[in-house]
Amino acid sequence: MQTRTFKTQIGGKEMIAEFTDLAENANGSVILRYGNTAVLATAVMSSRTRDDIDYFPLTVDYEERFYAAGTIGGSRFVRREGRPSEQAILSGRVVDRTIRPLFPQHIRNEVQVIITVLSLDENDPDMLAVNAASLALATSDIPWGGPVAAVRVAKGYAASAALAKVDAQAADAASLKDFVVNPTYAQREVAALDILACGKDSTINMIEVAALEASEDEVAEGFKRAVDEHNKILTWQQEIITETGKEKPSAEKPATPEALVKLYEEEFAEKLTAAVFCGKPNKDAIHEVQDEWLKTFDSVKSSPDASQSEAFREISFGVAKRFLEDKVDEIIHDGALEGKRADNRRFDELRPLFAKAGGISPILHGSGIFYRGGTHVFTALTLGGPGDAQVVDTMEERDVKRRFMHHYNFPPYSAGETGRMGGLNRRMIGHGALAEKALAAVIPPVEQFPYTIRLVSECLASNGSTSMGSVCASTLALMDGGVPITAPVAGIAMGLMLSMHGDGRYKVLTDIQGPEDEFGDMDFKVAGTKNGITAIQLDIKLDGIPVPILIEALRDAKTARLQILETITNELANPRENLNPRAPEILTMRVRPDQIGLVIGGGGKTINGIREVSKVDDITIEDDGSIFITGKNGSASQAKALIEALVKEYAAGEVYDGEVTRLMDFGAFVKIGPGKDAEGLVHVSEVAPFRINKISDAVAVGEKVRVMIKEIDEKGRLNLSIKAADPEFASRKGLQPQTNGPRESTRHIARGE
C-alpha cells in the first residue's frame, strides 16, 4: 500500500490528508482526518460525453456508516444501512453547493463525488467532507476550479433551551466566549451562533448559519474569521496539489458559432431585451422568445435551402439553447448594472405582501398563508403529545427525540408544470430543513410547551424563494395555533448581479424573483426576528463573493425582514391565547424516579389499565420521573388523577371515600386509592363509638364508606377509622352496643403479628 501523508494545524487540532492506492481506479481520492473523525472522498469523471442533456451532470453522495460510530445499527431484521438519512442528504448538499460553481458548466461528462464517513468522534464530518472533496478533485485530472476550503466557527452560550439540547458544561460555555474554530458537537449544542462557511481566495461561496437572534455585526465577524481560516487551509491544499496533483485537460468553452450570433443579432436581440424588461413578474415573456428562437433554429437547420442550412448543420440543439440562455444572463446583468430590474422594481423594493392567519378549516390546529409577489405558501400546524416525537437513529444521533419538525412540499403545479408526484427530493428536504432551522430558535422549550410540533408548508405558487415564504407562513401558523413562540420570524432572499466584464461593478437585489433567481449570481437567504438572525443559507453561481458584499446584503436583508414582520404582525400580533379546541390537551406531572415502576406496573399492566380506563391518547414517562399525559375531552385530567392517587403519600388525619375489599373477624380492609399501599384496616372498634359484635353487621364487601387515616405505623401500613370520619355511621346503620365483641388486642392478627 502506497501512502503519502500531509499535515496542518487548524483550530488547534491536526488535519491529516492521506493519499493511498486504496481507491486507485478513481480519478482522485483522499482520506482526511480531524481528531478521530475520518472521511474518504473519491472523484470520478466518465469518459463519455452526454449530448442529450443541457446541464452539467454532477452527483454528490454522502455515505454514513454505522461502523464509523462503533454501532451495528439498522433494524432487528436488516442489520445494514438503508436509504440516506435527512442529515446525510443535507451534508451531501453542503458539498454539492460548494464544489458545483467551480466546474466548467459547459462540460457534459458525468462527475460523481462520494464522501464515505469512516470514523466519527466529537468532530462534525461536514466540514471535513468539503475539504476532502476539494483535495480529491484538485489532485485529480478532472477539470475543476478549486481548491476550496471549509471551516465551522461558533460563538456564544445559548441560555435558551430552544436550541441547546444538553446542559452546558462549564468548559464548553467558557470556550465559546470568543469564536471557536471547528467546535465539537457539545460546543455547537450550547452555541448561540454556528456558522459553516466555504470559500476560496478570500471569498465565500457557501454558507449555513444557525443562530439565536444574532446581530448582523456578529455574523459578519464570523464570516471574516472563517475566511482567515480558509486561507490557511487553502495554502496547505495548494502545497499538496503542487506535489501530488495530476495534470488537468483543457476545458475551454467552445467558441460560439458565428451563424448563431448573426441569427440572434439580426432577429432576436431586441426581442429578448424587451422580453427581459417587460415588467411582468415571471419568465413567461422570456420563454416565449426562447420558444421562438428554437423553432427558428430548427427551421433554418432543416431548411432545404443549402445556403441557409449549411452553416447550422454542425450546431446541436443544446448549443443553440444554451446560447440564448447565456444572452438572457448577459442582458439581466448589464441591465442591473445600468439600474434596471426585470420587473422594474427598485433594488431594495419588496414585491406586494399578504399575510393571513387561520381561515382554512377549524379542524386544523393552526394555519398560515403568505404571499410575496408570485410566491404563495400555505402552512398547516399539527400538535401532538411527546409520544408523537420523531425518533432519530443515525450514525451521529442514536435514539434522539425530535419534537419540532418542518416539512416542505413543492408540487409541480407551483411552477406551472406537470410532473411526478410522491416521494421526496433533496431540494425539498433542504428547503424544509432551512425553514426548520430558522424557526427552531423561537420554539418554546419542552418545560413550557410539552407538545410535539409539526409544520407542513405547501408551496402553491413559486416565483422566488419559497423556503423563505415557508418561514413566514409557518410563523403565522404557529401563532394562529397558540404556540407561544418567543418572537415572529420572517425570511428574505437577496440576490447579486456582478459585472460580467471584469470591472468589479455589482448590484445587490432585495427579494429576487423569476429571471433574477435563475440567472443571478447569488441566492442569499436570511431569516430572523426583529432582534436578530436565526438562519442563513448562501448558494452562488460564482467562484466566490467578497465578504463586504455579503455584509451589504445582510444590511438590506434586515430592512426587508422588518418590513415583512410588520405585515405578519399586522395580521396577528401575538400567538393566540388558547390552543385550538381540536388540539390535544397535555398535562404534566412528576413522580419520584423510584415510583416509575409503580406507575408502569408489571409488564405495563398498571399504565395500560390507566390508559384503558381514562381513554387517554398517550402517557409518556421520562427517566427523571416527568410524566406527559396527552388526551382530549378531559381524558388527560382523569388519567392524571389516577396516577396521582397511585403515587400519593398518605398522612394521618386525611379523610377518604373507600371501598370495603374484605372482612375479617377483627375488622374490615378498605381500599382508598389505586396503589398497592392504599389499603388500610378499619378495626371493629373503629366502626362505632361503642363495641359491636361482628364487623359484618356494619359493612359488606363492595360497600362504600368514608374513613379517616388514624395512623400510619412504622411499616407504612394504614390504620383507618369510620367513626372518626363519619360519626353518624352507626346510627344510620342501626347498630347497637354489644358485650361480647372481639378484644382490642386482636387488631393486628391478620397482619401476621
Q: What is the pLDDT of residues 501-546, one digit of tens each?
A: 888 899 999 999 988 988 999 999 999 999 999 999 999 999 999 9
Look at residue 369 in the predicted model and tell me its pLDDT: 97
pLDDT confidence band for 171 (50 / 70 / 90): low
| Residue 172 pLDDT | 57
Q: How many CB atoms lie within 10 A of CB 588?
A: 15
Q: Please report, to the nearest 10 degrees, the dihedral formed by the alpha carbons of residues 529, 534, 540, 545 taken in order.
A: 90
**Model pLDDT for residues 410-460, shown as the tens digit of each residue:** 999 998 888 888 778 888 999 999 999 999 999 999 889 999 999 999 999
Residue 174 is predicted with a pLDDT of 56
Torsion-angle region of residue 201: left (phi > 0), alpha (psi -120 to 50) or beta?
Answer: left
Cell of 691: 363495641
The average pLDDT across 312-320 equals 82
Sorting pLDDT into bands at 50, 70 and 90, what band is 204? very high
pLDDT in tens, 101-120: 999 998 999 999 999 999 99
25-42: average pLDDT? 97
Residues 18-33: tens digit of each pLDDT: 999 999 999 999 999 9
E strands in 443-562: 452-461, 490-498, 506-510, 522-528, 533-540, 545-546
Give the pLDDT score at 692: 87
Confidence band of 752 (pLDDT split at 50, 70, 90):
very low
Q: Are strands 452-461 and 404-409 parallel, antiparallel or unpaired?
A: parallel
pLDDT at site 199: 97
Q: What average pLDDT does this structure show over 463-470?
A: 93
What is the model's pLDDT at position 197?
A: 97
Q: With a cut of 80, say whether residue 256 has pLDDT above it.
A: yes
**pLDDT tops 70 at residue 627:** yes
Strand partners, 628: 588, 620
Kindly report which listed range (56-70, 357-371, 386-400, 670-684) carries the lowest average pLDDT score: 386-400
Which residues on neighbouring strands pair with residue 524, listed in sequence order?
494, 538
- Count other C-beta atoms under 10 Å from residue 652's C-beta: 11
Cell of 375: 410566491
Q: What is the mean pLDDT of residues 222-229?
A: 96
In this model, does residue 168 exceed pLDDT 60?
no
Question: Which pLDDT belongs to residue 391?
Answer: 83
Query: Mean pLDDT over residues 703-711, rounded?
Result: 94
Residue 740 pLDDT grade (very low, low, confident, very high; cuts 50, 70, 90): low
Q: Are 52 and 134 in contact (CB under 8 A)?
A: no
CA distance 61 to 495: 28
Q: Is the pLDDT of residue 232 over 80?
A: yes
List the single range of 260-264, 390-394, 585-589 with lowest mean pLDDT: 390-394
Q: What is the helix (H) or strand (E) element at residue 599, kind and residue range?
A: helix 596-600
Name the nearest CA neighbour of 489 among 535, 449, 455, 521: 535
What would the mean pLDDT of 560-581 be, rounded to a whole number?
A: 95
Distance from C-alpha of 317 to C-alpha of 301, rounded to nearest angstrom? 10
Higher-confidence position of 400 and 561: 561
Q: 3-state class of 130 per DSSP?
A: helix
What confidence score (pLDDT) does residue 383 get?
A: 95
The letter for the amino acid at 457 is S
What percent of the chain has pLDDT above 90? 63
Written as nine digits, the cell of 407 is 416539512
Mean pLDDT for the stretch of residues 366-386: 95
d(CA 692, CA 698): 8
User: What CA–CA distance (Å, rounded) separates 423 from 124?
Assistant: 28
Give pLDDT, residue 432: 94
Q: What does the pLDDT read at residue 306?
A: 65
Mean of pLDDT values over 3-10: 95
Cβ-proximal residues to 352 (8 Å cutoff; 6+ apart), any chain = 371, 372, 373
Nearest-CA neighbor of 540 among 489, 503, 506? 506
Check residue 567 and give left, alpha or beta (phi > 0: left; psi -120 to 50: alpha). alpha
pTM: 0.86
393: pLDDT strictly greater than 70: yes
pLDDT value of position 292? 92
Give the ranges where 23-66 is alpha helix by DSSP (H): none
pLDDT of residue 136: 98
Mean pLDDT of the chain: 89
Asked whether residue 170 carries a pLDDT value surpassing 60, the answer given is no
> What are the E-state strand segments in 266-394?
353-357, 366-372, 375-384, 390-392
- The answer to whether residue 175 scores a pLDDT higher than 70 is no
- What is the per-residue pLDDT for 749? 43
Which band of pLDDT confidence, cut at 50, 70 and 90, is reported for residue 753? very low
With a cut of 80, say whether residue 308 has pLDDT above it. no
Which of 313-327, 450-464, 626-640 shows the lowest per-residue confidence on average (mean pLDDT)? 313-327
In this prediction, residues 43-72 reach a mean pLDDT of: 90
Q: What is the mean pLDDT of residues 591-613?
A: 89
